[in-house]
Amino acid sequence: MVNIWEAAPEIIKKFLLYMQTVKNKSEKTVDEYFLDLRTFFRFIKIHKKCSDRYLDLKDVKIDDVDLDFIKKIDILDVYEYMNYLVKIKKNGASARSRKTASLRSFFKYLTIKLKILEENPIKELETPKLKKSLPKFLSLDESKKFLETIKNFNSERVQRDYAIATLFLNCGIRLSELANINFKDISPYDNSLRIVGKGNKERIIYLNKACLSAIENYKLVRGEAKDKDAVFLSRNKKRISIKTIQFLMKKYFNLAGFSHKKLSTHKLRHTAATLMYQYGKVDIMVLKDILGHENISLTQIYTHTSSEQLKSAFENNPLCSLK
What is the set of active-site residues? 174, 198, 266, 269, 293, 302
Task: Give percent helix, percent strand, percent coil of the chain, each to the nearest 5.
Answer: 55, 5, 40
Q: Are 70 and 116 in contact (CB under 8 A)?
A: no
Count the residues in the chain.
323
How far is it, in rounded angstroms, from Cα 6 to Cα 153?
Answer: 47
Q: Are 130 and 98 in contact (CB under 8 A)?
A: no
Residue 223 Rama label (left phi>0; alpha psi -120 to 50; beta): left
The Cβ-side half-sphere exposure at 252, using a 13 Å CA radius, reads 28
How large is the C-alpha radius of gyration of the chain?
A: 24
How far is it, in rounded angstroms, from Cα 66 to Cα 75?
Answer: 18
Q: How many other β-carbons are positioned within 10 Å of the β-carbon of residue 76?
A: 10
Q: How many other β-carbons are positioned within 10 Å of the β-carbon of residue 268?
A: 27
Could you tell me where the beta strands, DSSP code E, fall in 201-309? 202-206
